[in-house]
Amino acid sequence: MSIFDRLFRIGKAEANAAVDHLEDPAKMADQILRELRSNYQQAIQGEAEIKALALQHRASELQYRNTASDWEKKTNELLDRVETKQLDEAKGNELANKAAQAYQEALNNADQFGKMAEKEESAIAVMDLKIKQIKDQIAQTESHAQLIQSRAKTAEVSEKISKTLSSVDTDGLMATLNRMDQKASAQEFRAAAYAQIEDATMSTEQEINKALGQGSTTNALEAIKAKRTKLLN
């Protein structure tokens, strides 16, 4: 394999990878759905135009058949007059021949328009089938697109959460939490130690009063209330 072939393959692979990266599943599904709907509208419009032509050609066919019928009637009337001697034979045959030619021309035109209408009606039958297939494809694609969009949204959110969690230093957070717990414990131990030091620096009288519960605001108030009671009695 030449170096140019290898470079071409590498470039092609990189281009495909870039395209794959740019393709968003939800957006691509929505784009496909829009294209199908556009195709459906174009098919409907095309079918309507062909139907209009078929109707027009059927109307022309009917018009020429009516014209042919009129010329056939006139031809018979001329021949009847020739036979009944109401019209000169030479002149009557000449006119009858012209009427017959007009009849044949009108009949040919009617047949031509009839054949055109038949082809268009056949084409319409085929288009009806294809339009129905496109309509069914649109219904299927709508359901499929909704499913793809839901899956893509779920994947996007999951990917964001995974990226967020992967960037979080869980071990570091736990280590910090443990340090804070140790600091809180150390503070509690220091507070208990200060309390013990305060008890150790009390005088003998303070220690006795603390043990007996004397010297507090509540005991002093009770003593005053007792004196008041004695005085009143």
Q: What angle do CA 133, 137, 140 make, to 5 degrees?
A: 140
Residue 202 parent element (H or E): none
- Domain end point (choices 168, 192, 218): 168
Q: In total, how many domains does the chain have?
A: 2
Domain of 14, in residue numbers = 3-168
**Is there a single domain that holds both residue 182 and residue 71?**
no
Please name which of 114, 125, 121, 115 lies closest in space to residue 59, comparing C-alpha atoms.
114
How far apart are alpha carbons 138 and 136 in whole angstroms?
A: 5
pLDDT tens for residues 174-205?
Answer: 777 788 888 888 787 777 766 666 555 556 66
pTM for the model stands at 0.52
**Is there a single domain that holds both residue 158 and residue 218?**
no
Residue 213 parent element (H or E): none
Percent of the chain with pLDDT over 70: 73
- Domain end point (choices 168, 192, 219): 168
**Is there a single domain that holds both residue 57 and residue 141?**
yes
**Is there a single domain that holds both residue 73 and residue 188?**
no
**Is there a single domain that holds both residue 129 and residue 217?**
no
The whole-number average pLDDT for the span 163-181 is 71
State the sign of the Cα–Cα–Cα–Cα dihedral 207, 208, 213, 217. negative
How far apart are alpha carbons 32 and 144 in whole angstroms?
A: 11
The whole-number average pLDDT for the span 130-139 is 89
**Is there a single domain that holds both residue 13 and residue 89?**
yes
**Is there a single domain that holds both residue 160 and residue 197?**
no
Q: Looking at mean pLDDT, say which of 8-17, 132-141, 143-152 comes out highest.
A: 132-141
